[in-house]
Amino acid sequence: MRRRLQLIPWKTAGRVSEQFASADEVIRQTGWVFNNETGSQLTIDEFVATGDNEVLAYLEVFGLRTPGNDERTVVEIGCGIGRMTCAFTHEFSIVYACDLDAGFLERCRETVARFGKVDRLRTIEVGDGRSLEVPTDVADLAFSYITLQHCEIDDALELASESVRVVRAGGYVALNFRSRSGADALLLPAGALIRSLFRIPRFGRWLSQRRTVARFAWQVNRLQPDAVIRSLPNVLTEVKVWRHPRSNVFGTGAEIGTFDGINPHHWWLVARIA
């Protein structure tokens, strides 16, 4: 089977994260996957605190922080080392945390054991980058942040479709995507070129461990709301596209919501399953 190049930088980052003794050290030494900062002052506590704030802000703004969440189930796609997962375990009774990389999932369990409620956590490896080993209709919410933009278009759309599958009728999906910007004329071809260099034996492996270069390689797709909504099963109601007030992203027939906490290059699809 052809190697799936867009998965390489994440697998590499996962392997690198396994070389450190603690999640604190991963944050200080690499920073490369999650907040792009490195330095001796960084702590996992602060990192998780950013996730706590963002989870609560997004749930509030999207109208998903409602009484009864402590009896509900959430599926998080692209949990990484658990920055947001901790907050989900405080809010929901069961959290399926899904990620491509088994090393990140191990770190995620460690982070949640320290800052969250680990008895509520189930970790799921997304081995093929597109299928969720999560039962159908099991969840009340499927949530994904800064992950779908890093997948090949087909994988991103398949994961979006998987989100709809795992959420039961009456539940919600909240999926984050990245829209086009001027810089993409450079970023996307540079990302594709670097991913193709990962194929070169030895050099490719060395290259995938260089943080600055790997950041380019993460840049994979820019999907617009209509393309995502069209690709999904016809079961969505209350479809809303959320974006920064200065962004001009729109979805045909979708209501628009604005929140200045959203990155101007991002947008969210929030919808209810009929």
Q: Tell me which residues touch ligand SAM (CB under 6 A).
A: 10, 33-34, 77-78, 80, 83-84, 98-101, 104, 126, 129, 145-147, 150-151, 155
Query: Cβ closer to ligand SAM: 150 or 254?
Result: 150
Write out the two tokens for 140: 């009340």
17 and 26 in contact (C-beta within 8 Å)? yes
Quote the least distance from Cβ 255 to ligand SAM, whole Å: 25
Residue among 134, 80, 149 at smallest CA distance from 112: 80
Choice between 157 and 241, CB closer to ligand SAM = 157
At residue 55, what are phi and psi to the nearest 5 degrees? -60, -50
Our CB check for ligand SAM shows the closer of 36 and 237 to be 36
CB nearer to ligand SAM: give 74 or 126.
126
Least separation, in Å, of the C-beta of 143 and ligand SAM? 9
Contact (CB, 8 A) for 259 and 242? yes
Between residues 24 and 256, which has the closer beta carbon with respect to ligand SAM?
24
State in angstroms the smallest separation of the CB of 98 from ligand SAM: 6
Shortest gap between Cβ of 80 and ligand SAM (angstroms)? 3
Contact 75, 50 (CB under 8 A): no
The DSSP result for 106-161, as a single string, is HHHHHHHHHHS-GGGEEEEE-TTSS---S-TT-EEEEEE-S-GGGS-HHHHHHHHH
Q: Give min distance, CB of 66 to ligand SAM, in A.
A: 22
